[in-house]
Amino acid sequence: MKNERSLSGRTNLLYEDDAYLSNFKGTVLSCVPFINLERSKEKDSNAAELYAIELNQTAFFPEGGGQSCDTGILGGEEVLDVFKENEKIWHVTKKQFSINEELQGEINFTERFHKMQNHSGEHIISGIIASLYGYENVGFHMSEDVMHIDVSGTLTQEDFEKIEFLANEAIYKNKRIYTVYPDTPDEMDYRSKLDLCENIRIVVIENIDACACCAPHVKNTGEIGSIKIIDSMSYKGGTRFFVKCGHWAYLEFQNIFNQNKEIMKLLSAKREGCAEAVAKLMDLQNKRKDEENTLKNQIVELYLEKMQAENIFFAEKLDDIQLRRIINESVKNASGIVAGFVGNDALGYKYIVGKNENASEIDLRALAKEMNTSLNGRGGGSDKMIQGSVTAEKKQIQQFFNNF
């Protein structure tokens, strides 16, 4: 077993030797139009204006293993993408560089460190899950401020609480994190989603986990700071859950803390009493909703009584459910059609018109067209019910319906 890697390809991977290196110099081995590479097909239409640079050594981590690439500056130019293709690592910029030109590179280390915190936290969590439940990590992706992990079995809320407790306990114990390079896959036990035969890089977290990984990690678990499992869901027969570590976990807590402060002000409640205050408020809201529904039903009943003698009614305020219910109930006992209009002369009216199923002589679709023409309306529907809006005045609408 080796403690140092053997170089493969033409580029020395400085981030594997020192994950904390942010500045470096590299010599250009090749520079090609980005559009010549397969990767360009996944990117924006400006690929023809970009160049891909291969260096003799780099501190930029390329996209891989569920983690996005580093960002930063190379030769004074913004690095737009870093990726592996054809066994080479390419750095994409807007500028073309010459072969053998020496370039100064600088990665965005703040971004890198936050990713290191989260990726190392993911290894802790996945190692604990494998140890406790025997589940495999079958998927991992890190976005800009959260990562998700997919495991091969079902986990409950109680399981997550236990996992999170043990993960943070591992942080407090400040365990060492280091890499080893086995000569063969059988030389040591480790987790891996791939069948590796050579160039094996194992990230070891002392007494917690050993996993094949290509990404940079922190040196000790204490640098992760904290781990928080945010949410979970069933996924492809297993479980997908969302996690934030380190700085991302701090920002999540700060956001929740600030939201809680605002809730405290709005409810005039202490922090520990917010949940109870919200429960009381929701209970009051439900009671008022019940009262509102009772009043709405009473209003509907009044209009239904009115519709026993008339085939049309006007109302200033009714919601869509009330209006439809009045028409649906009224049409059962009507001899022909019934119509309901809600609104006023100034703003116009929305309407629903229905007909009794025995009134086959009335064509509601044709009626809708007549209303659109005569009452400056918009609408339509089926031969049983039409709905829409008109901008005519009440008097005009009543005259139009006097024919029915």
How does DSSP assign 324-374, residue by residue?
Answer: HHHHHHHTTT-SSEEEEEEEETTTEEEEEEEE-TT-TT--HHHHHHHHHHH
Predicted pLDDT of residue 48: 85
**What is the CATH class of 112-254?**
alpha beta
Predicted pLDDT of residue 249: 97
**What is the CATH class of 295-401?**
alpha beta
Span(s) in the chain for CATH 3.10.310.40: 295-401
C-alpha of 115 from chain center: 18
Predicted pLDDT of residue 292: 94
Q: Tell me the pTM.
A: 0.75
Average confidence (pLDDT) per 10 residues, the chain, 404 residues: 53 94 97 94 81 97 93 97 94 97 98 97 97 95 94 97 98 96 80 70 94 95 97 96 98 94 90 89 94 94 90 94 95 90 96 91 92 94 94 94 78
CATH number, span 12-107: 2.40.30.130
Dihedrals phi, psi of 388, to nearest 5 degrees? 170, -145
Predicted pLDDT of residue 8: 44
Span(s) in the chain for CATH 3.30.980.10: 112-254
For residues 299 and 325, give the distance between their C-alpha atoms in angstroms, rounded to a whole number.
11
Span(s) in the chain for CATH 2.40.30.130: 12-107
8-state DSSP, 94: S
For residues 124 and 128, give the distance between their C-alpha atoms in angstroms, rounded to a whole number.
6
Predicted pLDDT of residue 182: 86
For residues 6 and 12, give the distance between their C-alpha atoms in angstroms, rounded to a whole number.
10
Element (H, E) at 256: helix 246-267
